[in-house]
Amino acid sequence: MEKRVSLKDIASRVGVSVALVSYVLNGKEKEMRVSAEVVAKVRQAAEEMNYEPNQIARSLRMGATKTIGLVVADISNPFFGHLARIIEDEAFKSGYTVIFGSSDEDEEKSAMVLRTLQNRQADGYIIVPSEGTTRQISGLLRKKRPVVLVDRYFPELNCSHIVLNNYQATFDATSHLIGKGCKRIALVAYRTSLIHMKERIRGYAEAMSVSGLPWEDLLIEVEFGHTQAETDNALNKFLEKNRNVDGMVFSNNGLSLGGLYYMQKYCIRVPRDLAFIGFDGGEAFDLYPTPLSYVSQPLEEMGREAVKILMDQLHGTNRITQIMLTPTLIIREASPC
């Protein structure tokens, strides 16, 4: 293995002290009043000798790695991909690099990703928590690590978070369809104990109940990690028993896309045959033959605020910040029932 070039090697070649080389390569030449001629010689030598700084040693000296660990459920999901992009851009403005990892809604994989990020000495963490990961988050908090939860949170943990008002999101979506005359509205949701999905189910149930409409038999719950075939199977079984359903609300982006693929495959015309409201929108919504309505989350604000809260923690604040953002219902067609 080729020997790593050190500051001492560069100092010997130029004929100056190791300290002076360090000043130049760390951008402190003006502060230490190093001449322009010496600065040029040091930088030329470093380039010719293919010098690469030892980031681990530098991080130990500084007490920080200038990295943020970001854990999302699935980076291939457009919602999480967009959120990660916003967080990465905002972190860059503060001089931080983001290291990504996907939990795939799996407790063990989440633990592995977090261990890796801790081994890499991440300065702080922005996490979309998976089911069963309360102890993992608690462990970070006990170690006094800066942590911000996004999209979801654990009510039992006193931890900074920024989330959507999930109850309001589905309450508004369901109420809109009821206002258009729909009487048999189904909600497609994930089967989970996570608070964000529980709140979306609660918002739907409340909207149906206050209008005197039954809902218990119209809730469709599918497992996390489902395939399109499993989504098709769940919707087939439901619609065989509930042929008079006149509207559907999908409780997240992945389920919305799965529902659209299903309707295309089985020639269900939206909104003529079935009124539809999805979550998050996206390119698939724009390419659909009929304009589709959806619940819009303020992703830009969610990403920016998550980074801001984390930066405050990294700079020494002990304040717990918990933010609930307001959803917007984007109506792009009449949703007749």
Range with the poorest average pLDDT among 78-87, 208-217, 224-233, 318-327: 224-233
Condensed to tens digits (0 to 9), the pLDDT of residues 48-67 reads: 888 876 655 555 455 578 99
Detail the DSSP E strand segments found in the chain: 67-72, 97-102, 124-127, 147-150, 160-164, 185-190, 219-222, 247-250, 275-279, 293-296, 322-325, 328-330
Residue-averaged pLDDT of the chain: 89
Residue 298: left if φ>0, alpha if ψ -120 to 50, beta else—which one?
A: beta
pLDDT at 61: 53
Please indicate, yes or no, whether the overall pTM of this predicted structure exceeds 0.75.
Answer: yes
Condensed to tens digits (0 to 9), the pLDDT of residues 122-159 reads: 999 999 999 999 999 999 999 999 999 999 999 999 99
Could you tell me which CATH number the domain at 66-164+299-325 has?
3.40.50.2300
In this structure, which topology does domain 7-53 adopt according to CATH?
434 Repressor (Amino-terminal Domain) (1.10.260)
pLDDT band at 1 (very low <50, low <70, confident <90, very high): very low
In this structure, which topology does domain 166-298 adopt according to CATH?
Rossmann fold (3.40.50)
Task: Please tell me if the domain spanning 66-164+299-325 has the same topology as the one spanning 166-298.
Answer: yes
The stretch 21-41 carries a mean pLDDT of 85
Condensed to tens digits (0 to 9), the pLDDT of residues 257-307 reads: 889 889 888 888 888 889 999 998 777 777 777 788 999 999 999 999 999
State the Rg of the chain over Cα.
26
Condensed to tens digits (0 to 9), the pLDDT of residues 9-29 reads: 888 998 999 888 888 887 788
321 or 239, higher pLDDT: 321
* Domain boundaries, given as residue ranges, for the chain: 7-53, 66-164+299-325, 166-298
Helical (H) or strand (E) element with 307 = helix 299-314
334 has pLDDT over 80 = no
pLDDT at 337: 61
Does residue 187 contact residue 167 with C-beta atoms inside 8 Å? no
